[in-house]
Structure 1
Amino acid sequence: MNIFNRYAPFIQDFIYQNNWEALRAIQVAAGDAVFNTDQNVLLSASTASGKTEAAFFPILTLFHEEPPGSVGAIYIGPLKALINDQFMRLNDLCREADIPVWHWHGDVAQSHKNKLLKNPSGILQITPESLEALLLHKHADVARLFGDLRFIVIDEVHSLMRGDRGGQTLCLIERLSKLAGVNPRRIGLSATIGDLESTGAFLSSGTGRETVIPKIEAKGAKWRLSMEHFFNTANEERRGRGSQSEEDKEIPEALPVLDVKSDIAPKNADPGMGYIFEHTRGKKCLVFVNSREECEAVTTTLRQYCEANHEPDRFLIHHGNLSASYRETAEAVMKDEEQYQTTVTTATLELGIDIGRLERAFQIDAPFMVSSFLQRMGRTGRRDLPPEMWFVIREEVPEARAMLPATIPWMLLQGVALIQLYVQERWVEPPKLDRLPYSLLYHQTMCTLASSGEMSPAGLAARVLSLSYFHRITQDDYKLLLKHLISIEHIQKIEEGGLIVGLAGERQTNSYKFYAVFKENEEYTVRSKSQELGTIVMPPPVGEKLALAGHVWIVEEVDHKRHLVYCEQVKGKVPAYFGQCPGDINTKVLERMKDVLRENVVYPYLMKNAVTRLDEARHTAKNSNMTEDPLICLGGDMWCLFPWLGTYAFLALERFIKLKCAPHLGITALDSSRPYFIQFKMKATREDFFSVLSDMEKQPLNPMELIYKGEIPLFDKYDEFLPEELVKKGFAYGILGTEEMKMRIRSWEKK
């Protein structure tokens, strides 16, 4: 109770009023680290374990004892909804001590922001994008606003570890600290961190401090978990529950599933949607999907079920492209204990917002990462209920004469692999910190120049390259960038030799969209010759495929300025498109999927359909030997390679085969389904295939050689403003998993 006694009286009163019998382990550990050290702190504990209170109880105590002379703490949250939620929680706590709590993002009234600007004090809750806008437009006020800043709390820190947004957050903290002349302690919060040590090092970048990482022993918890499989046909029979093994008590319990047969289905009904419709009735649930487009389609289908059954609409929708009013309506309804509605959502409700007593979460198909699965699972299980998630895996019925790879239920295997990796190994994806963030480099260069006014080239380089996130960027790369930005008039060189923002650059920096480093979901019109096919979001690069209007098309040209995609119709399937999150699958997940096919285990959470489908897949895998032999002949000169590699190593291998090996092997018609398999025609033998791969792997390989002729791989938001050489270099050295690919080829050589 020493930590409790150290807390300020108003916090002790808060704990008594909420009938807490004891502090949680995370709160004791955080109090010890904040009160008794001067280091940064990384708090990792399960969802709803009290991490926010653990961080703020000691911070508020210190503020109570010695009030800061400016904003004393910044809380950086990844989502507006999370900030709104935490604002209400902190406001209640701080009101007693007269410590102001401010929130600042695009939906907050200007009058509230003006009060903070007049009286900088207490705690500021803000998104990275709003903090960028604040530094850009209130540059001269930064020292006054944050001159006594003592803490920066970064919530859901894992969500900032895999792309430019996390890098932007680090850059913002360092820029603000230099401008204000402070070195605040950083406190990171997360429920799903795969590598605590590297995350701690990331958190401390540029501070000169170490990071304290309290070891919190997790209590054993029961999950209520089920996974069912459906073919996308309206005539599929309804199925009951599957078998359950009691062999391994650590594995979560299977769920009893109701069998309600009275519902009327709309035309062309999807049995997976019918299953969700039945088992959300009278309950408060979330349905997670993996994309905005799927979110819209699923919500529409579920509402059609309501209409067909003459029931009132009980389905809400929540994703990042909706207006604030739509999102807030869904959040308010979900918090209302009297309402029993279900919200279909993307990752926007994956993170820490408390939306009340949720009874059940559904996941349509498998997420791509263990961390996403854990975050989504953690939305339920609050208020003393066990966490509960139902996976609904959907698949097209394989054609009677389908080739081997099309008969494997990849999403079912992926779902099982994600669960087993955590249940058996407590494994979560490690952070990806080895990128070459040229897009962010452009953004931070323009932000620094726009906020500071005229700077010398040397001064600008010193200011930007001293930011710790750019430690892999060379002086030569930066000179190349500045010359290019001058040539495209984003930067202007004045007669005295100084640099200012150019006319084209002003069009960027003056837009509210400039504050964000992630791509907005802007629609592109897709055309084939004179025919308009429809619209898509985030077009694939030239040479890739997309599905639209019931056909498959290959991209011939992307006009980013006019948001046009030109393509030509082809046959085949569309591979899973990759990016920062969609399709970002770790090699360990693919290897575990292979083990799922190999092992003869009945997972207790699989329901009847899923058990049957997995048995079929295991039978197919055994007969084809696909888990032991990576290269399978599908008949004649058609072959299939199963590399069991994660997205970025798979992408490198695909290009390595096309560009380096195909000419020697007579490979044609290469078609990938990333990151599961590569199908192609080949005139050579199996022995020739592995011999050529091995010989080519032994030769020196510059990753730049894996970029297609004429390809400029634009993926990040500001890549279009970079010199082509840097775009290619960032992709080749920062994204392609070349070393992992080479290791896999060497492992085949040993077989």
Structure 2
Amino acid sequence: MTEPADPFDLLDPVLGHHIVNSLGWRSLRALQEEAIEPLLSGEDAVLLAPTAGGKTEAAVFPLLTRMNRRGWKGTSVLYVCPLKALLNNLHPRLETYAGWLGRTASLWHGDITTGRRRRILAQRPDILLTTPESLESMLVSTHVDHQAFFSGLNAVVVDEVHAFAGDDRGWHLLAVLERLSRVVGHPLQRVGLSATVGNPDELLAWLQGSGHGRRPARVVAPHLREQPLDGAAPAAPPPGDIELDYVGSVANAATVIAALHQGEKRLVFCESRRTVEELGEKLRLKGVTTFLSHASLSMDERRRAETAFAEARDCVIVSTSTLELGIDVGDLDRVIQLDAPATVASFLQRLGRTGRRHGTARNCLFLALDAEGLLSSAALLLQWSRGWVETVVAPPEPRHLVAQQLLALCLQEHRVGENLWQEWWGGIGPFGPGAAPVVRHLVEQGYLDHDGGLLFVGPEAERRYGHRHFMNLTAVFTAPPEFTVLNGRTEIGRTDPDLLTEEIEGPRKLLLAGRNWLVTYIDWTRKRCFVEPADAGGRARWSGFGAERIRSFALARAARDVLLGDDPPVRLTKRATAQLTEAREAHLHTVHPGGTVVTRTSDGDVRWWTWAGHRANATLAASLSSVVTPHRRVGDQWIRLRDDLTLQAWQAARADSGAGLCLPEVDSRAVRGLKFAEALPARLAEATLAARTADEEGASKVLAEPARFVTLNNA
């Protein structure tokens, strides 16, 4: 029998030469070897590996080989990322790999100059690194001949595909890829790169879009053979050095971080921009070399911080999730987490930033800022230790994006057949016959005009979105209003306008980029704020909801398990152990292993302790409305019930819920946060939001459990 061919030998020999001699690799990783054959044969795929698992090379090396063998011309591969910073970081590497074969790679996103774009349009690169929003802009732009530019397109690589799939940017990306496939006249090979997720097969089916079931596809994930992610059977967590501590405040966290691991490079993750600013300021006051990164800092400020951090040794960079994805900030020694990230998947991404050097282990130190932060962290680490990670699920019923895509398609094609528009999306998800009411509404309200069986952009769309060549139509999220903060001509970042309008005594000061600033002038018309350096007293704030402590049903139930006595199998400091003991005593009457608990205090506070997460509780509150307080106050752990609740009313409400669960009620004001909601009938916009705030599965599990009633004396 002949020996099976070495997968390495399937790659272009010039590429193989440079892998060995330029990169100095003795061999490929398992993921890189196993991806070669399916990608060379044109299959769709999702490549799964932990952070720094070599996913980019696993996708690009076979595609470059295929490009050369098949003689692809022009822009034949798109490399799509969720963040411009990640594209900037990847570009030099992909440019080098392409250059080995005499090919080119270029960047195209919102920060690329007009001159550079003209050169790209004139000399199409073989690989274009871009974002979905920039692809949309190219399709609708009058300056881009999209038919000509994309004529040679054959494959799309979607980096951090799980980050797309879990929110509306994923639906937008899918819709744009379907339109691109129709523009080029053939299916595009789709390759997704992802960190560990709980449902890789479903993620691949989602990525395939209208090609699911019609094109060959596979998940390539060698590491899952050792550690299946079925979410049920316990599995050993990845090796690492994990510790949980309780510090009680941001100031105490700064003290601990300044004292520990001196001489090492530390990356600290925080769950809000405000915490990043406050911790950064306090670390600098302690003489620690500190850099900051979050979405409201200017691009230059972030880039300077990330470059300086990558080149320094004894320093700390404090960040929100902006550095969670694969942006290279050099060799890290430590990851520190303040409170808990929202998901186990986020924790895995952050943990994967460490342990990349030979002989080092992955590590993470959790510093809890309060009792709830400690409980959240312990719950997350307990679920992680069970081998559980979240499934990635696309948000349901994205009707607002159907409206956006219809308008974008009419801009792209100028006129679209009123009975043919569905063909552009191959009937995927929300773009089937169920989208007809959205089309009718767009026509009735003047967003679309129709004549002779054709649809085209109407006056209302021109009025709402026509500014700057419909630029606002290409972004799928509504950004809160923020003021640009400038020191002279240097942009520092953006701040919440509330900090500039609230009444205060004395000078107005801001905290931004970890530094204090005195406000000297506010240009209200242009939304600009001018500042000068100040010694102290600055404040940081941004609009929007903070990260929930315990989000999902699974993490809420893990918190209950912690309170019932389960410790996560990590190192717990004496402070953390003592605080967990206090938490268990405080919650003695709110948890029970046999079901849920309804408590009534002597001052009339009645709560149903479900430990089911906010969405399941909102669903339960809507479904048992007769016994819930009129304002339906709910948390992740409990639901407020009427103070005149009787056992008979309780039993009747539960019996009524057997007829079917209700979706949570939606405040009409909340719909404003759904971009393009104004292009939908009000009832459909509210129905979209209601479907996204529900957890019917979790609510059903709670209703199937017995509830015990406890009366507490809170004197």
Class of the TM-score when normalised by the shorter of the 2 chains: 0.7 to 0.9
Distance 1:91 1:340, change over 3 A: farther
Cα deviation 1:160-191 (Å, max 9, x = unaligned): 11111011111111111111213121111011
Equivalent position of 1:729 in the other structure: 687
Quote how far apart the aligned CAs of 1:221 are. 4.8
Equivalent position of 2:524 in the other structure: none
Distance 1:484 1:642, change over 3 A: farther
SS at match of 1:352: coil
Equivalent AA in structure 2 for residue 31 of structure 1: I
Contact kept, 8 Å, 2:618 with 2:693, in 1: the verdict is: no
Matched, 1:647 2:601: no
Matched, 1:393 2:368: yes
Task: Find the aligned partners of 1:301 and 1:730 in 2 and give their Cα distance.
Answer: 43
Equivalent position of 1:286 in the other structure: 267
SS at match of 1:5: helix
Q: Which runs of 5+ in 1 are unaligned?
A: 233-268, 396-408, 536-561, 563-575
SS at match of 1:42: strand
- Percent pairwise identity: 26
Contact kept, 8 Å, 2:135 with 2:176, in 1: the verdict is: yes
Of residues 638-647 and 210-219 in structure 1, the stretch that sits farther from structure 2 once superposed is: 210-219
Quote how far apart the aligned CAs of 1:56 are. 0.9
Equivalent position of 1:741 in the other structure: 699
Quote how far apart the aligned CAs of 1:670 are. 5.5
Equivalent position of 2:246 in the other structure: 229
Taking the TM superposition and a 5 Å limit, the aligned residue runs for 1:165-244 are 165-207=169-211, 208-217=214-223, 221-232=238-249
Equivalent position of 1:380 in the other structure: 354
Quote how far apart the aligned CAs of 1:603 are. 3.4
Equivalent position of 1:430 in the other structure: 391
Contact kept, 8 Å, 2:138 with 2:144, in 1: the verdict is: no
SS at match of 1:458: coil
Contact kept, 8 Å, 2:121 with 2:144, in 1: the verdict is: no
Task: Find the aligned partners of 1:328 and 1:104 in 2 and give their Cα distance.
Answer: 18
Equivalent position of 2:537 in the other structure: none
Distance 1:519 1:387, change over 3 A: farther
Contact kept, 8 Å, 1:149 with 1:182, in 2: the verdict is: no
Quote how far apart the aligned CAs of 1:532 are. 6.0
Contact kept, 8 Å, 2:264 with 2:333, in 1: the verdict is: yes
Contact kept, 8 Å, 1:360 with 1:380, in 2: the verdict is: yes
Equivalent position of 1:298 in the other structure: 279
Distance 1:372 1:71, change over 3 A: same
Contact kept, 8 Å, 1:76 with 1:153, in 2: the verdict is: yes
Quote how far apart the aligned CAs of 1:733 are. 3.0
Taking the TM superposition and a 5 Å limit, the aligned residue runs for 1:14-413 are 14-17=18-21, 18-35=23-40, 37-137=41-141, 141-207=145-211, 208-217=214-223, 221-232=238-249, 270-279=251-260, 281-303=262-284, 305-306=285-286, 311=287, 314-336=289-311, 338-384=312-358, 385-395=360-370, 409-413=371-375
SS at match of 2:264: coil
2:653 aligns with one of 683, 693, 696? 693
Distance 1:499 1:353, change over 3 A: same
Cα deviation 1:676-713 (Å, max 9, x = unaligned): 2234551223x33541331220234553xx42686663
2:379 aligns with one of 394, 397, 417? 417
Task: Find the aligned partners of 1:724 and 1:175 in 2 and give their Cα distance.
Answer: 28
Equivalent position of 1:572 in the other structure: none
Contact kept, 8 Å, 1:429 with 1:586, in 2: the verdict is: no
Equivalent AA in structure 1 for residue 374 of structure 2: L
SS at match of 1:442: helix
Task: Find the aligned partners of 1:298 and 1:167 in 2 and give their Cα distance.
Answer: 36
Quote how far apart the aligned CAs of 1:113 are. 2.2
SS at match of 2:222: coil
Quote how far apart the aligned CAs of 1:222 are. 2.5
Task: Find the aligned partners of 2:240 and 2:332 in 1 and give their Cα distance.
Answer: 14
Task: Find the aligned partners of 2:48 and 2:504 in 1 and give their Cα distance.
Answer: 47
Cα deviation 1:128-167 (Å, max 9, x = unaligned): 1111111111586223222222210000111011111011
Indicate the RMSD between aligned Cα atoms, in angstroms.
Answer: 3.1
Equivalent AA in structure 2 for residue 28 of structure 1: E
Task: Find the aligned partners of 2:454 and 2:220 in 1 and give their Cα distance.
Answer: 51
SS at match of 1:630: strand
Of residues 470-479 and 167-176 in structure 1, the stretch that sits farther from structure 2 once superposed is: 470-479
SS at match of 1:113: helix
Quote how far apart the aligned CAs of 1:631 are. 1.2
Contact kept, 8 Å, 1:639 with 1:680, in 2: the verdict is: yes
Task: Find the aligned partners of 2:43 and 2:452 in 1 and give their Cα distance.
Answer: 47
Cα deviation 1:613-632 (Å, max 9, x = unaligned): 11222233345555554212
Contact kept, 8 Å, 1:280 with 1:342, in 2: the verdict is: no
2:582 aligns with one of 604, 613, 616? 616
Quote how far apart the aligned CAs of 1:428 are. 1.3
Contact kept, 8 Å, 2:77 with 2:156, in 1: the verdict is: yes
Cα deviation 1:54-100 (Å, max 9, x = unaligned): 11111111222233122111000111111111111111222221110
Quote how far apart the aligned CAs of 1:329 are. 0.8
SS at match of 1:188: strand
SS at match of 1:231: coil
Equivalent position of 2:234 in the other structure: none
Quote how far apart the aligned CAs of 1:466 are. 3.9
Matched, 1:606 2:572: yes
Quote how far apart the aligned CAs of 1:202 are. 0.4
Equivalent AA in structure 2 for residue 505 of structure 1: E
Task: Find the aligned partners of 1:635 and 1:115 in 2 and give their Cα distance.
Answer: 74
Distance 1:723 1:205, change over 3 A: same
Equivalent AA in structure 2 for residue 23 of structure 1: L
2:402 aligns with one of 435, 441, 455? 441
TM, length-normalised to structure 2: 0.82
Cα deviation 1:217-275 (Å, max 9, x = unaligned): 3578531211111223xxxxxxxxxxxxxxxxxxxxxxxxxxxxxxxxxxxx8212221
Task: Find the aligned partners of 1:602 and 1:52 in 2 and give their Cα distance.
Answer: 33
Distance 1:164 1:230, change over 3 A: same
Equivalent AA in structure 2 for residue 212 of structure 1: R
Contact kept, 8 Å, 1:227 with 1:390, in 2: the verdict is: yes
SS at match of 2:42: coil
Contact kept, 8 Å, 1:287 with 1:362, in 2: the verdict is: yes
Task: Find the aligned partners of 1:708 and 1:352 in 2 and give their Cα distance.
Answer: 36
Task: Find the aligned partners of 2:176 and 2:298 in 1 and give their Cα distance.
Answer: 27
TM, length-normalised to structure 1: 0.79
Contact kept, 8 Å, 1:456 with 1:499, in 2: the verdict is: no
- Paired residues, what number? 638
Distance 1:434 1:471, change over 3 A: farther
Equivalent position of 1:265 in the other structure: none
Task: Find the aligned partners of 1:116 and 1:188 in 2 and give their Cα distance.
Answer: 25
Cα deviation 1:492-541 (Å, max 9, x = unaligned): 456987432325535414353432112324247669xx986999xxxxxx
Equivalent AA in structure 1 for residue 689 of structure 2: F
Taking the TM superposition and a 5 Å limit, the aligned residue runs for 1:460-499 are 460=421, 462-463=422-423, 466=426, 468-471=428-431, 474-486=434-446, 490-493=447-450, 498-499=455-456
SS at match of 2:259: helix
SS at match of 2:260: helix
SS at match of 1:22: coil
Cα deviation 1:379-415 (Å, max 9, x = unaligned): 22222332221111111xxxxxxxxxxxxx3322221
Quote how far apart the aligned CAs of 1:32 are. 2.0
Quote how far apart the aligned CAs of 1:601 are. 3.9
Q: Which runs of 5+ in 2 are unaligned?
A: 227-236, 483-495, 509-526, 528-542, 710-715
Distance 1:473 1:354, change over 3 A: farther
